[in-house]
Structure 1
């Protein structure tokens, strides 16, 4: 258990934010609820036994300063992160506390690295973007699979989702990203992000059993295209999505996730299959679990715990695999029952 340190959850009443609040309490932290809707904050605070609720908006720096005052860290769960990440990071730097977010937006994460790396390093601050299912988990798996390799030729991250019922926040963030790209697609190739208009290929991916071979959409690029190459010498980072999940996401008729157990998790299951290749060598890491939104909470909370207890490897803006011991981090998640992990030679 922790020592009762207060951690701000910005966007606490959102779908992922509620999971983060619960995960913080389970670890002995005291969540401080923040967000722009005072009514929803009050309702959540009352349902959580009277937690501190602090209205704050990304476009009001003074309100953010009030929200972060006297706290140990902030977890930003409020998308679109293209709008919220920079203001909340600025507030965290002013408050002198670490910042973690659950951003899956490729451009928003790239902006965080581009705009805050030097300032955060100079301040000795720790800023961890994309500490979630997309971006964080994949980076941890790739880093752990790399082991003692200093570089690799390519990394493949295949997402085997049983379904994907997107939240309103996911849809809003996707709309912002689509607009920023002018409707183009993006991939990480030859050591850089590349925007293109090519059709996405469909191919078969040999997932481990019991999932087995499944049709996936190739170049279904996720935040891993930012986090992984931010610290690993891998010129080709490719991500894939099961065809059924991609169809769910694309359909405007797919409903939001519905709770199916006592923890509020949906019935969705996932298998993340990572393959790293260097020359003739190949290494693999596999993670299995339930509900991509729910599992983002222990990822973010474990990150905060490690930062506050000094279990970090660097300062500045850093992805999960760079700032933490990736294999040890994954073992902690597995020991906590949040997912299962296999590292295969």
Structure 2
């Protein structure tokens, strides 16, 4: 594979550093885009990057000069996604981000799809653990079906030590959450009852709560389902709501935390029912192979449809998921 020059916005952030490291391990030229133009990698040796300001169109255009694609890891994405995606369209390069925000993903689909199609550019929002992974898993088990009765997505985490960016986004992400009911996006009830979910090890059977994120928006673009619901177990929510919970602490040479995850998707249509699970360590680290893998497929694979897209619309999802090994292990029931 030829090396590409790929800009990473928010390179100094927790997820951004994982993405930078992943690109460089694959011998690509990762260009850090930061607020002050400086980048401090995991080694601690400061580098010079490119300074950007998402409120300044000219700085964004300068930041993308000569780049083949841009990966946006700079949250909150309420502020950065649209101006960065618009800059990518002007530069004629793909844009991908890692937003979990439903509102941000919806706004990109609603506001930039026509512009991106006209420019022949592919935009992939939410190409991350929250968002893209569930869409890939759902599409993989559909095996060509486009219409089903239900899709249930459950995330099980052993813990959740949120980054500063996660906390900032959570404080601002107060818009009503949506899931799919009767085939359309609908606001979730104020008090939706919890249920039990039997996860694969190491989570096991636990109580889960409805928590729809950007995966709902992605799945809605290309799957016709009467209901799509997302859940998460209670332990990570307790960690997230506790202001004393510290940020992630690295316990491995590559910077991963001790957090383990299992994401499971169950799809049903009449008597037909199937399930798939994805497991690994550290949801922030797991985002790097997802967004980098998608970017490289856009740059090095067959032509993909232009416009704002969900990964399930444009990739061979089973092959994509297989390529994530060993960072993310996928098992089909």
Same fold (TM over 0.5): yes
User: Displacement of 1:248 after TM fit?
Assistant: 1.1
Task: Please give the residue correspondences for 1:67-146 in structure 2 after superposition, counting only pairs within 5 Å.
Answer: 67-146=63-142
Deviations along 1:59-87, one digit per CA (max 9) or x if unpaired, are 01110011000010000000111110000
User: In structure 1, how many angstroms separate the alpha carbons of the residues matched to 2:57 and 2:297?
Assistant: 27
* Alignment CA distance shift 1:326-1:312 (3 Å): farther
User: In structure 1, how many angstroms separate the alpha carbons of the residues matched to 2:226 and 2:20?
Assistant: 37
Would the aligned equivalents of 2:161 and 2:239 in 1 still touch at CA under 8 Å? yes
User: Displacement of 1:37 after TM fit?
Assistant: 2.7
Alignment partner, residue 190 of structure 1:
182
Task: Please give the residue correspondences for 1:10-49 in structure 2 after superposition, counting only pairs within 5 Å.
Answer: 10-38=9-37, 41-44=38-41, 47=44
The answer to whether the aligner puts 1:53 opposite 2:42 as a matched pair is no
Q: Secondary structure at the match of 1:139?
A: helix
The answer to whether the aligner puts 1:212 opposite 2:201 as a matched pair is no
Alignment partner, residue 257 of structure 1:
248
Deviations along 1:181-213, one digit per CA (max 9) or x if unpaired, are 2xx443332233323551242221122345321
User: Displacement of 1:43 after TM fit?
Assistant: 3.7
Would the aligned equivalents of 2:157 and 2:203 in 1 still touch at CA under 8 Å? no
Q: Secondary structure at the match of 1:221?
A: coil
User: In structure 2, how many angstroms separate the alpha carbons of the residues matched to 1:42 and 1:293?
Assistant: 19
Q: 1:317 aligns with which of 303, 308, 321?
A: 308
Would the aligned equivalents of 1:144 and 1:343 in 2 still touch at CA under 8 Å? no
Q: Secondary structure at the match of 1:333?
A: coil
Would the aligned equivalents of 1:162 and 1:245 in 2 still touch at CA under 8 Å? yes
* Alignment CA distance shift 1:296-1:110 (3 Å): same
Would the aligned equivalents of 1:3 and 1:28 in 2 still touch at CA under 8 Å? no
RMSD of aligned Cα (Å): 1.7
The answer to whether the aligner puts 1:305 opposite 2:304 as a matched pair is no
How many pairs are equivalent?
333
The answer to whether the aligner puts 1:226 opposite 2:225 as a matched pair is no
* Alignment CA distance shift 1:210-1:10 (3 Å): closer
User: Displacement of 1:46 after TM fit?
Assistant: 8.5
What is the TM-score normalised by the length of structure 2? 0.95
Alignment partner, residue 193 of structure 2:
201
User: In structure 2, how many angstroms separate the alpha carbons of the residues matched to 1:312 and 1:246?
Assistant: 40
User: In structure 2, how many angstroms separate the alpha carbons of the residues matched to 1:202 and 1:59?
Assistant: 41
Would the aligned equivalents of 2:39 and 2:46 in 1 still touch at CA under 8 Å? no
Alignment partner, residue 339 of structure 1:
328
Alignment partner, residue 320 of structure 2:
329
Q: Secondary structure at the match of 1:153?
A: strand
Q: Secondary structure at the match of 1:303?
A: helix
Q: Secondary structure at the match of 1:260?
A: coil
What is the TM-score normalised by the length of structure 1? 0.92
* Alignment CA distance shift 1:313-1:67 (3 Å): closer
Would the aligned equivalents of 1:185 and 1:197 in 2 still touch at CA under 8 Å? no
User: In structure 2, how many angstroms separate the alpha carbons of the residues matched to 1:262 and 1:45?
Assistant: 10
Instruction: Kindly indicate which of the two structures has a greater share of residues assigned to helix.
Output: 1
Point out where structure 1 has 5 or more consecutive residues left out of the alignment.
Answer: none
Point out where structure 2 has 5 or more consecutive residues left out of the alignment.
Answer: none
The answer to whether the aligner puts 1:248 opposite 2:244 as a matched pair is no
